Amino acid sequence: MRIKLAYSIIVSLNKRLLYLLQDGRVLKTYPVGIGKIVTATPTGSYKIINKAPNPGGPFGVMWMGLNKPHYGIHGTNNPQSIGKLVSKGCIRMYNSDVLELSKIVPIGTTVNIRA
């Protein structure tokens, strides 16, 4: 019998880092870009509700939508924006990182966004 591993994500806005956790332990850390002051990334607990490869526009190679409408974790066609306050509230990742993450975490994964 195979044991199902529990994944979760924590996003630290002040550190501009996304932590992938497996059974409560940090498995991987990724740098991210976050919302501008005027369009700040919302804090709270959310879930990934969908995944869309190659969504077009500024979303890079992958979109993972959250259960807060219009917000998600996505790639970027502007890699210089990672680590900065640049988005309209979404979590931006390098395209290679968001592809890696999207292959690991299933739909339903909890995403805790913290100040």
Could you confirm whether 101 is annotated as catalytic?
A: no
- Residue of 61, 74, 92, 94 marked active site: 74
> What number of other Cβ atoms are within 10 A of residue 41's Cβ?
23
- Residue of 90, 93, 98, 101 marked active site: 90
> What number of other Cβ atoms are within 10 A of residue 69's Cβ?
8
CA-to-CA distance for 4 and 114, rounded, in angstroms?
26
Could you confirm whether 90 is annotated as catalytic?
A: yes
CA 107 to chain centre: 12
Catalytic machinery residues: 74, 90
